[in-house]
Structure 1
Amino acid sequence: MTDGRSVAGRVAALTGSAVGEARPVSGGDVCDAYRIALADGRTVFAKTLDPAPEGFFAAEAAGLELLRSTGAVAVPDVLAAEADVLVLEWVEPGAASAAQAERLGRELAALHSAPAPVWGGPDPRRPVHLGPVPLPSPPEPPSGAGDWPAFHAEWRLLPLLRRAVDGGGIGEGDARDVERLCELLAADGGEVAGPPQPPAVVHGDLWSGNVHWSADGRARLIDPAAQGGHPETDLAVLELFGCPHLRRLLAAYEEVRPLPGRSARVPLHQLQHLLVHAVLFGPGYGARCGAAARAALGLAAHVRSEATTGQVGERDEERA
């Protein structure tokens, strides 16, 4: 863990206030985090990582500002973002409630209605991060509604798969099934990806730990990998590890922004995060990657079968 005294000194210099108290708090699996009381009466949240990847905290700060710019969701104010530390306003935690979850569902629907200019991060020179794992973007990012499947395969799934294979986090058979899915996505993807979707502003790493339930009754989104992405990925990641009042949240979302057929596409949209976990935590997640890929491939086969059956039915009607 980073020395709390050194963090306090950095925060004092960045905020212009002496530090009254620095107390470690839960900050996730990657960073060390602190609740810091300032002598001027403010309380702030500071997180550090030693060593931090280049641009790590700058990317997080940019992601928070991107989410804020939509006017759809609440995020903590960014007070400072340096190479070694990120300082945010302190938001007093509270119990997760159905009312907060329903409000968040409606806010996420509004967020996902905000267009993004391209697929991927807002600055191609600066990767977004899922935890410590960088997600690069192409130098000339695509922007079309039909571009997501190929973009997702080439710039998200395959780079993560290569890292998982190299690190022993996924077995040969499971890796091959992920590759088969990527081939399908790159070729067309419509059978598995669903209707074309233009790039929308997404949180990008919306597991339940990145929803901060607050004492003031409005949940804040934290630790984003905000980018131009597919809205169904945010929702699928919320489902991946569970979330308080999830049914209420999703129902409120779909009242505003219905997504027919979304449940069948959940494995596809969870695969990216499962691959990150295979990279970081090993083959237990690699097996889940293979299962998700096979579920997505099964959906594609089902869509093709239904299309063939429909075509046969149409020919029969014509002959009659």
Structure 2
Amino acid sequence: MATQELAQWIKQQTGAELARLSPVGGGCIHSAWRLELQDGRVCFAKTNQADLLPVLEAEADGLRALRQTLDAPRPLQIPEPLALGLAGREAVLLLSWLELQSSPQRGSQHDSAWGELGAGLAQLHRSSLRGGDERFGWGQDNFLGSALQPNRWNDSWADFFCQERLGHQLRWAARSGRSLPQGEALLKEAAGWLADHKPEPCLVHGDLWSGNAGQLRDGGGAIFDPAVYRGDREVDLAMAQLFGGFPASFFAGYQRCWPLPPGHQQRVELYNLYHLLNHANLFGGSYWQQSAACIQSLL
């Protein structure tokens, strides 16, 4: 990256000189950096090619929405967007720094921290109902990873999930020549399965796998890298069981704060099919077989 152009941009945005720039691992879309400023502040930055600025804009929008929803004192930490724009030929999102543990810790001594993170998510979901839109969707389309996530408003959760989530992914697959057998049959069945399920439209993180949450070194938890919209809160709890999953204490903490309704276990596989299809469309490989097997299992 062009370090000099980034340093100039950082000074314009923060009023401070860049003292040190260190790469941070873990990202699969953007380059990530730890920035130490001359005035002692530490920040986090994501950079990518300029035409991906809309992806970073959507992330900043989601982070602001989540932060505005949280009650004070904050039950969990969410990074604050500090600046966003172009530094030369690169798009940059500057965020507050979170001092995360180097790897997720599990076991009895860490159960309390994971439980607090679960309870914090429940508080966020519940708080988002105050003054929120009664529809499902979001004011703009955003991104799940690098994939476009359509968010057209809908009064019906069943219609929204089937059209904007599963239907979008199945149409994408078909355009790519990877039409999935029984996909259309599943859409029809899913609409019926969800017809009697009437969730409240909570603000959801939207991409809550274990790589987008963590424990802080000084205690407590954090969530980041969202793909927000107003939807069934169960989608966050479902995805938290996918791709490695969260420890049981996380779910127990959530349930203590705001128990999920009866039948939520039966919706987990359906909700997570969306993420399997998204991975198949983005990365291919065995995700196609997993998606097809999931559809077959659901039917």
Which aligned pairs between 1:232-271 and structure 2 lie closer than 5 A?
Answer: 232-244=234-246, 246-259=247-260, 260-271=262-273
Aligned length: 280
Higher mean displacement: 84-93 or 235-244: 235-244
For residues 198 and 31 of structure 1, do their structure 2 counterparts lie closer, same or farther at Cα, with a shift above 3 Å needed? same
CA deviation profile, 1:197-225 (whole Å, cap 9, x unmatched) = 12111000101110032112121111101
Question: For each residue in 1:167-186, what CA deviation from the matched residue of structure 2 results, as whole angstroms up to 9, or x when unmatched?
Answer: 35x4x4xx132321212234
Tell me the residue number matched to 2:112: 99
| Structure 1, 158-167 or 61-70: larger mean CA deviation | 158-167
Partner of 2:174: 165
Aligned partner of 1:178: which letter? G
Quick one: structure 1 residues 179 and 160, their matched pair in 2 at CA, closer, same or farther if it must change by over 3 Å?
A: same
2:184 maps to which residue?
179
Question: Any gaps of 5 or more consecutive residues in structure 2?
Answer: none
Please provide the CA RMSD for this pair: 2.0
Identity of aligned residues (%): 35
Distance 1:4 1:285 in 2: 37
Among candidates 105, 128, 143, match of residue 129 of structure 1: 143
Show the counterpart of 1:315.
none
**For residue 164 of structure 2, what is the aligned residue in structure 1?**
155
CA distance in 1, matches of 2:59, 2:100: 20
TM-score (norm: length of structure 1): 0.81
Name the counterpart of 1:278. Answer: 280
- Amino acid paired to 1:75: I
Q: Tell me which stretches of 4 or more aligned residues in structure 1 moved more than 4 Å.
A: none
Residue number in structure 1 paired with 2:40: 41
SS state at 1:189 partner: helix
Once the two structures are superposed, what CA deviation does each residue of 1:237-288 show, in whole Å capped at 9, x if it has no partner? 11111245x2111112112222223222211110111111011110411121
- State which of 282, 291, 294 in structure 2 corresponds to 1:289: 291
Match of 1:108 in 2: 121
How far apart, CA to CA, are the structure 2 residues paired with 1:248 and 1:150? 33
Q: What is the TM-score of this pair, normalised by structure 2?
A: 0.86
TM-fit CA distance, 1:55:
2.3
What's the offset of the Cα at 1:229? Answer: 1.4
Is the contact between residue 18 and residue 35 of structure 2 (CA under 8 Å) also seen in structure 1?
A: yes
**Against the structure 1 CA distance between its residues 37 and 47, is the aligned structure 2 distance closer, same or farther, given a 3 Å change threshold?**
same
Secondary structure (helix, strand or coil) at the match of 2:182 reads helix
Aligned equivalent of 1:88, options 95, 98, 114: 95
Structure 1 residue ranges without an equivalent (≥5) = 298-320
- Note the alpha carbon deviations across 1:27-66, whole angstroms, 9 max, x for none: 4210000001001110100001214435222211111111
The structure that is helix-richer by fraction is: 1
**Does structure 2 conserve the Cα–Cα contact (< 8 Å) formed by 1:104 and 1:249?**
yes
Q: CA 1:66–1:16 in structure 2 vs 1: closer, same or farther (change >3 Å)? A: same
